Structure 1
Amino acid sequence: MSPSLSAVTATREHFIHQLVYFDEQYPAFFDNYLSGLQDAERALIEKSIRRYTDTLVELLEKEDDALFERLKSIVLIGSRANVYYEEDGFEESFTVVYPSESDPDMNRISFLSPIGRQLLFATPDRPLTFDVPSGKLQVVVREIRYAYIGGFSTG
């Protein structure tokens, strides 16, 4: 089934807003979220943000149907990922969001959080290892849905 014109327009506008956010608000974003990090960790996040913006540009170049198919195959900011824990068979859903929109009670996790960073760019059915304080968890992303839920905040 093809996406509706309004869904396509809203998704494209959202991606453009994300690109503008990282372009125009990066100094404030850096000051708020990255300035206290060690150099190596900050460099990894900056590299991830560059990769992320490149991915958005690539997505914006796609035809509508191809764009919506791709949204099911990669975790982005605004994606909801169903994660299956291999050890105990538990399944959980996370929505990856900006730090200002995180809400652990609603499973909205910042793309800067440890799990958020590990989920960003994940693809379905490819094993992942979550590094958590208690050790390592083997997981598989079962399904990805683009489910953007928030607005933009500069703070």
Structure 2
Amino acid sequence: MSHSLLHQDVKLQLVSQLVYFDEEKTRFLDHYFPDHGRERNKVEQVLFVYSSVLEKIVNDFNETTLHSSVIIGSRVKLRYLDDDYEESYTIVFPQQTDAGQNRISFLSPIGMQLLMTKKGETYGLIVPSGEIKVKIEEVAYDNCGQI
């Protein structure tokens, strides 16, 4: 597949995500968060911000913007600052999770914290044992953001 066609496919995936979260957000939230509570409200707010990040990427679509922030379909390589250990995850829709391939849902605790992070930045991830400092070493859209 040519580079141009691949980029068209990627852009189409991102536009499809925007359309999905615009048209199916309520159904999506009802499915994963049937109780109208704090967690659902938090995810709804995250999806609102995520859609604006995605719109910016689509409107200024190029290699730099595509790989600058973690979006659904991105592979993110992070380095744990306490021991320099590196690990990669691909952030996916809930139905695409696969622990064996390090594909984690954007709704998971780690996935939600990594969503919209930026390459080169340092973040504190909240885990059951406390907070772990990580640096986002690489972000690459892995062509797996299809719905």
Query: Is the TM-score greater than 0.5?
Result: yes
Structure 2 unmatched ranges of 5 or more: none
TM-align CA RMSD: 1.7
More displaced stretch, 3-12 vs 47-56: 3-12
Q: For residue 18 of structure 1, what is the aligned residue in structure 2?
A: 17
Q: For residue 32 of structure 2, what is the aligned residue in structure 1?
A: 33
Q: For residue 97 of structure 1, what is the aligned residue in structure 2?
A: 92
Q: TM-score, normalised by structure 2?
A: 0.90
Aligned residue among 42, 50, 53 for 2:51: 53
Equivalenced residue count is: 146
| Deviation sequence 1:40-87 (CA, Å, 0-9, x none) | 22222111101111122222222x4xx221122110000000010111
Structure 1 unmatched ranges of 5 or more: none
For residues 1-155 of structure 1, the aligned pairs below 5 Å read 4-36=3-35, 39-62=37-60, 64=61, 67-149=62-144, 151-152=146-147
Assess if the C-alpha contact under 8 Å between 2:71 and 2:115 holds in 1: yes
Deviation of 1:151 after TM superposition, in Å, equals 3.8
Deviation of 1:24 after TM superposition, in Å, equals 2.4
Deviation of 1:15 after TM superposition, in Å, equals 0.9
CA distance in 2, matches of 1:122, 1:15: 17
Deviation of 1:19 after TM superposition, in Å, equals 1.3
Counterpart of 1:94 in structure 2: which amino acid? Y
Q: TM-score, normalised by structure 1?
A: 0.86
